[in-house]
Structure 1
Amino acid sequence: MARDTSLFSGRPSELIGRQIAGYRIEREIGRGGMAVVYRAHDLRLDRTVALKLLAPELARNDTFRRRFTHESRAAAAIDHPHIVPVFEAGETDGVLYIAMRYVEGSDLRHLLDRRGPLAPEPALRIAAQIASALDAAHDHGLVHRDVKPGNILIARGTDSDHPEHAYLTDFGLTKKSLSLTGFTTVGQFVGTLDYVAPEQISGKPVDGRCDVYGFACVIYETLAGRPPFRRDDDMALLWAHQYDQPPPLTEARPDLPPNADTVLAKSLAKSPDDRYGTCLTFVSALREAMTGDRPGGHAPTQVALRVANSAVAGPKQPPPWAQPVFRGGWP
């Protein structure tokens, strides 16, 4: 098993130039507790991909391997413009891997760290795109369970009305699969604590409304510059998600209308039954609260969503406070 471990825990330079499952590794682009992501070259189709290698101990769990195969296929079946496509998933030399589209750009975590909270217009544009991706996943029976800024990729858009294109990623390794492997020990919680729903903490069954909560935490941070709950230690943070009320968004952003507080409070309700039923419904309510743009009485279609996004984008020459995300150059 020494070779298996080296694939995951070795220094990045040890894998540069190596071929794994028909992909030649070029450089490391991300690392977490359970996987390492590399930029790699697909030798069969002559294209650049993002190659995720999972920790070798995951492949040794038969239950995880079966669910990994099933859920990777389900993720690959989703054809949506705001979900990073999964090209292939498999196993080589005792290591599970996922090959995905390589997105040239940044992620929302990096963007917020560099620039702080966003203006309402780009925040709503990004929110609408990711909401449509999450709802599409839910329609396919997938719950993401780890919506966070680091899993939202931001690429350059097509024109001045659509200056950014957002992608949701990290569907190939679902948190339900991890929970079956025993990786829910103290200090290694399944999910990211700043964005975890109360029902995840208590171990109750979850559905798409779990992602509504995590997504609302992300949008709160996108506008406020910080997640809704900040505590000195992890246990206090978990308690806050379960029992404390989030501070009004307008405390951090007094320039936003008070109605936005009501929308965020509903989306961050402790009980899933008290939240919005879908992510797009949440974003539509937030758009109405922040811009006065009232949608129809049903969830917007993709065509309506593009029209609404164009309206939120504003004029092609916006005032200084409403410049697009990528003003001043690529992040």
Structure 2
Amino acid sequence: MPSEKEEDPMKNVTFAEGKKFGDWKIGQVLDEGGFGKVYIATNIHDPNKVAALKAESNEIEGGSAIKLEAMILNRLNEGGPAPHIPIVYQCAKRKLYCYMVMTLLGKNLRKLKSTNMVVNNGFSRGTWSRIGIQCLYALKFVHDNGFIHRDIKPQNFLLGHEKDLERARIVHILDFGLARPFATFFVREKKWIPRKARGTAEFRGTLRYTSPNVHLRKEQGRGDDVWSLLYVLIELNGGKALPWQTDSQRERVEQMKLNLPSRVVMSNMPQCMDKVMPHLETLDYYQRPDYYLVFKALWQVMENEKVTPSSKYDWETETPDKSIPPAAWENPAGTFFQSDPLGINGPPTPAEAALTTEKSGKKQKKK
């Protein structure tokens, strides 16, 4: 039975319709969960400008993660609006709660999956292959800016809002509450330097989608995010379940992940995807995953299904608007997936490790 203290957090984020937050005024609740609520918000100066206001109580265990999430989203959009990344318009901390106003998005992949009329509780291969490429693009973009997401699941990928024509068919990555920096760019050295892996790390993520490494209490790297994405795609594949789909007992799920051969876990997936999991099994925390290998496998699924990026998705009833220019992920050459701006594929040298430790120490003093 929840204690009174555990019930309080939702009270802190229950606001009256019309309440103002800076330049924004909130309307109805769009979504709510254990940590907070999401409201629709309208700009006071421009009623045509709508957004989402996400509020979290400061009384939840560990405090609100909104400050961290806003920082990461702002960093990702530093060079201008980035593909697959929502924009933060406003962010603030109050005594009882934190909030941020951001891009209004549409349904997440979990909701789209559960209401799909084409395939029961899943997507057709022509749909999930394209969704997979978009998710992979978003994930690589996050990695290329020095962060690991650590909570990849269908709920954390959202389509753009249906009335936002430029974003409506774009998958966005969200919920950076468990994210962790794994590399820092040092201006003087003109290079990215990885954060040294801890000897053991706590379990972080959602049980169904965490990689085997998380169960072994290893530090999560880029490959672990990609591994989680692969589990998501297995689940989305025409309603075919993961072997541990209905099991919530951590020890049993752990044993299956650690002991089932990849061919068993991938048994319902297209043959062209066969090399992905064996590749992920070879990676350690520092090594860069072969995003291009995954991209090519997903593109092959698309081609096998005779779909193009502009083909209708399972949930679409009308032909997509051809006046919208192609998105970056639609490039069949996969140039983005071959690029490696970080140049990290191994541990830092002792001198590099000293730099990251020094920088971390300065941050601790500032706090």
C-alpha deviation, 1:101, in angstroms: 0.2
2:148 partner SS: coil
Cα gap change, 1:65/1:192 in structure 2, threshold over 3 Å: closer, same or farther? Answer: closer
Write out per-residue CA displacement over residues 1-39 of structure 1, whole angstroms, 9 at most, x where no aligned residue. xxx999941398753332234432212222233232222
Q: How many residues align?
A: 285
Does 2:192 align with 1:191? no
Counterparts of 1:12 and 1:65 in 2: how far apart (Å)? 13
Alignment of 1:283-294 (within 5 A): 283-288=295-300, 291=303
In structure 2, the residue matched to 1:147 is 152
2:308 to 306, 310, 313: 313
* Aligned partners of 1:128 and 1:280 also within 8 Å: no
Q: Is the 8 A contact 2:73 2:85 kept in 1?
A: no
Post-superposition CA distance 1:243-273 (Å, at most 9, x none): 4345646754xxx64333x135336638547
Amino acid at match of 2:123: L
Give the structure 2 partner of residue 29 of structure 1.
Answer: 30
Is the CA contact (8 Å cut-off) linking 1:37 and 1:51 kept in structure 2?
A: yes
Residue 178 of structure 2 is matched in structure 1 by 174
- State the Cα distance separating 1:167 from its structure 2 match: 1.7
Deviation at 1:107, TM superposition (A): 1.7
Residues 100/69 of structure 1: CA separation in 2 closer, same or farther (3 Å cut): closer
TM-score, normalising length: structure 1: 0.69
Where structure 2 has 5 or more consecutive residues not aligned to the other structure, the ranges are: 182-201, 320-367
- Residues 201-216 of structure 1 correspond to what in structure 2 (within 5 A)? 201-216=215-230
Where does residue 260 of structure 2 map in the other structure? 244
Give the aligned residue type for 1:18. Answer: K
Equivalent residue, structure 2, for 1:118 = 123
Any residues of structure 2 matched to 1:1-331 within 5 Å, and which? Answer: 8-10=9-11, 14-43=15-44, 46=47, 47-57=49-59, 70-71=71-72, 73-77=74-78, 79-103=81-105, 105-115=106-116, 116-155=121-160, 156=162, 164-171=169-176, 173-176=177-180, 190-225=204-239, 226-227=241-242, 229-235=244-250, 236-245=252-261, 248=264, 251-252=267-268, 257-260=270-273, 262-266=274-278, 269=281, 272=284, 277-288=289-300, 291=303, 312-313=307-308, 324-328=313-317
| Greater fraction of residues in helix | 1
Pair 87,69 (structure 1): closer, same or farther in 2 beyond 3 Å: closer
Letter of the aligned partner of 1:258 in structure 2? Q
Distance 2:76 2:91 in 1: 10
For the Cα contact (< 8 Å) 2:242–2:265, is it kept in 1?
no
Query: Closer, same or farther in 2 for the Cα pair 1:275/1:243, shift >3 Å?
Result: farther
Counterpart Cα distance in 2 of 1:71 and 1:130: 17
Measure the CA separation in 1 of the matches of 2:169 and 2:68.
Answer: 34
The SS at the match of 1:98 is strand
> In structure 1, what is the equivalent of residue 191 of structure 2?
none
Structure 2 counterpart SS, 1:259: helix
C-alpha RMSD of matched pairs (Å):
4.1
- For structure 1, list consecutive stretches of 5 or more residues without a partner in the other structure: 178-187, 294-310, 317-322
Q: How far did 1:274 drift?
A: 12
- AA at the equivalent of 1:35: G
Larger Rg: 2
- For 1:39 and 1:65, how far apart are their aligned partners in 2? 17
* Structure 1 position 292, deviation (Å): 6.4
Could you tell me the percent identity over the aligned residues? 20
Does the C-alpha gap of structure 1 residues 106 and 284 become closer, same or farther in structure 2, counting only changes over 3 Å?
same
Contact 1:36 1:52 in 2 (8 A): yes
